[in-house]
Amino acid sequence: MEKAEVFYEGRVQGVGFRYTAQQVAKGFEVSGTVRNLPDSRVQLIAQGERGEVEAFLEAIGESGLGGNIRGRDVSWHPADPDLLGFRIEA
């Protein structure tokens, strides 16, 4: 298992990005969090088998939000065994 930390840039706040990410996550075996950042970016953390996480991230880009994303920075880290479920953080 691996954990991806993703920072999305563009018009990603105020467009339902976090809710959509949470809904898309239901179709994948991933756990994680998504939250808005003060600098207008969105931070998403997703963990699971690397192929599953990559497919999840691809599905976010193919959702109705793809046109709002201008940049995506992904870094990979060891999985966190305490990260369960997929939730929106304030």
Write the pLDDT tens digit of every residue in 25-42.
999 999 999 999 999 999
Q: At what angle do helices 17-25 and 50-62 cross, to 10 degrees?
A: 140
Strand partners, 77: 3
Catalytic residue among 36, 50, 72, 87: 36
The predicted structure's pLDDT at residue 10: 96
Measured from the Cβ of residue 87, the count of other Cβ atoms closer than 10 Å reads 14
The predicted structure's pLDDT at residue 64: 86
As given in the structure block, the two tokens for residue 85 are 């479920």
Has 68 been annotated as catalytic?
no
Integer angstrom CA distances of residue 58 from 39, 82, 90 = 24, 25, 24
Predicted TM-score (pTM) of this structure? 0.95
Measured CA to CA, the distance from residue 82 to residue 22 in angstroms comes to 18
Has 87 been annotated as catalytic?
no
